[in-house]
Structure 1
Amino acid sequence: MSDHDISIDEKRVYAEQTGTETLLVGTDRGLAAVAISGDQIGEFALLTTTEVRDVAVSDGTAAVADREDVRTTDAGRNAVGGDPTFTETGFGDAVAVGYDDDTLLATGPEGRVAARDGDVWDDRGIAPEARRADGSLLATVDGVYRVTDDDVVHAGLDDVNDVSGAGPWAATDDGAYRLGNGWLAERDGRATAVAARADHAAAIVDDTLYEHDGDGWRERACPLTDLADVDYGAGALYAADSTGTVAVDAGHGWRTRTIGLPGVAAVAAVADER
């Protein structure tokens, strides 16, 4: 079913009952925001026009890593149809960004890792060729790195494409791994993205979306191909492909919408105030 088949009044009532989220989509052409209500995909807007490498969220605030700077924004609150504010942090060119609790971490293309302390960046160490970040973890060509209060330490694996601080989980060229008594192989294949929430995890492995529900992995038949990223929202699973189509499944099957922005690098869901 297309979202255009649903009346405006029906969408309004549904939004009042379920609440809304904003899906932030980092692309080659900038940061886009897509309004989501349950499994209804609404309007979208292009918020920036600089290539985005990574996106992270914490308590309604988002951080965006692009080739010019790390910018923080309240985009989750009023991104579509509003006037979100973006604040430059002075980090410079960034390839990965994440929140460790409420501490903002960023990594540059040369491997510099720093934490935001008030209005300044505090250098923590070096992590070569970082790809993604989540929590205190960095996914790099050399494996997983963990950012501590005063250092950046190698935490295992190799050729890591993505990490989830919840779990923790890692997506590598050899498969999806979960941290237990060391890193435990959970799913073979080339894993390019991973996300987790509570006792659920989702991973893109060999361009197929899988979900772990605590008992084991199962394929989540997704209408997209060439999958770029996946994330959990409040009661929904989101996915996006490299060409700029987003999909949401809130328990009633997938719905999709094309936003027409290719080169998707990352997605992140932000809960809106009701």
Structure 2
Amino acid sequence: MSDHDISIDEKRVYADRAATESLLVGTDRGLASVAVSGDKIGEFALLTTTEVRDVAAYEGTVAVADREDVRVGNAEGFAETGFGDATAVGYDDGTLIAAGPEGRVAAYDGESWNARGMAPEARHADGPLLATVEGVYRVTDDDVTYSGLDDARDVSRAGPWAATADGLYRLGNGWLDEREGDATAVDARADHVVAVLDDTLYEYDGDDWRAREVPLSDVAAVAYSESALYAVDAQGTVAVDAGDGWRTRTIGLPGVSAVAVTESAQGADGNA
């Protein structure tokens, strides 16, 4: 049965059955949650109102690094944790890790923060990896160690991959230079990788790299979910490709710093 054989009502049923998730967008004005189902971008809501530096999600729980604290919660609300000014957050197999501008790195046990060590100012985190002004650092159970490279802007635990001022690197037998250029964002899923280099979006499909046209300017952050690829520009326009090309929607929140994806309990409403 082709798409032309499906009635409008039937298409609505199929859309309702599509996996629904929330794209979490960190901005200068707070954390926005955007409902997405397939390539249908629906309503969005502002969950916090303090400038966001980084965001991470794990099994429905969201952590936000902002200039006042690390906040943990979900669409129902966020609670302060007492970390203080934070620049990066990440979940390492359920353990929340945060870094502050002065270099302090700590892990949260649900009640208090436990010091792990020191690192230069972190920009983003993913799993145990920190992208810092002096390269990539790894957080262990009792320390923080330098892992290599310089001027890291973003990291992806899957791979692992690192976006730096010199290019895009994959960790193998040491850090391997995969693409040269000014890399500012990266994410990976299985054998797929997406990165921003020299203001161009590139994707690796397991065989080859290709530049991808995207209806955005100044892409600030990228992310994969199990079913889609997301890109968000600095002005707050969201783009999603669930396999049939890009769909976009502007959320009107500038200063985008980071994105993450989590499952959503409700479907997406509104027009893409």
TM bucket (normalised to shorter chain) is over 0.9
- The aligned runs of 1:154-165 (5 Å cut-off) are 154-165=146-157
Please give the secondary structure, in 2, of the residue aligned with 1:123.
strand
In 1, Cα distance between equivalents of 2:109 and 2:97: 10
2:134 aligns to what? 142
Q: Find the residue that maps to 2:13 and give its secondary structure.
A: helix
Q: How do residues 57-68 of structure 1 correspond to structure 2 at under 5 angstroms?
A: 57-68=57-68
Match of 1:85 in 2: 77
Corresponding residue number in structure 2 for 1:73: 73
1:174 is aligned to 166
Would the aligned equivalents of 1:30 and 1:46 in 2 still touch at CA under 8 Å?
A: yes
Superposed displacement of residue 215, structure 1: 1.3
Give the 3 Å change call, closer, same or farther, for CA 133–37 of structure 1 in structure 2: same
% identity of equivalent residues = 73
Q: What whole-Å deviation, never above 9, does each CA across 1:118-173 have from its counterpart, x for those lacking one?
A: 30100011111111000000000111000000000000000000000111000000
Aligned residues: 259
Q: Is the CA contact 1:63–1:71 (under 8 Å) kept in the aligned structure 2?
A: yes
Q: Deviations over 1:166-212 (max 9, x none)?
A: 11000000111000010001111000000011111110111111111
- Match of residue 86 from structure 2: 94
What residue identity is the alignment partner of 1:193?
A
State the AA in 1 paired with 2:81: T
Cα gap change, 1:64 to 1:238, in 2 (>3 Å): same
- Aligned-residue RMSD, C-alpha: 1.4
* Unpaired segments ≥5 residues, structure 2: 1-7, 267-272
CA separation of 1:118/1:255 partners in 2, compared to 1, >3 Å: closer, same or farther? Answer: same
Matched, 1:41 2:41: yes
Please give the secondary structure, in 1, of the residue aligned with 2:148: coil
AA paired with 2:137? Y
Where do 5+ consecutive residues of structure 1 fail to align?
1-7, 76-83
- 1:130 corresponds to which residue? 122
Partner of 1:3: none
Q: Check whether the contact 1:34–1:45 (CA below 8 A) recurs between aligned residues.
A: yes
1:80 match: none
Which residue type is aligned with residue 23 of structure 1? L
Following superposition, the deviation at residue 10 of structure 1 comes to: 7.4
Structure 2 SS opposite 1:155? strand
Give, in whole Å, the separation in 1 of the partners of 2:58 and 2:112.
19
Q: Secondary structure at the match of 2:48?
A: coil
Please state if 1:114 is matched with 2:102: no
Secondary structure (helix, strand or coil) at the match of 2:84 reads coil
Call closer, same or farther: CA 1:216–1:106 in 2, change over 3 Å. Answer: same
2:257 to 255, 265, 270: 265
Aligned-partner residue type, residue 167 of structure 1: G
- Partners in 1 of 2:156 and 2:232 — Cα distance? 17
Q: Residue 104 of structure 2 contacts residue 117 of structure 2 at CA under 8 Å; is this kept in 1? A: yes
Map of 2:219 onto structure 1: 227
For 1:96 and 1:238, locate their aligned partners in 2 and report how far apart those are by CA, in whole Å.
Answer: 20
Q: How far off is 1:9 after superposition? A: 6.4
**2:35/2:264 contact within 8 Å kept:** no
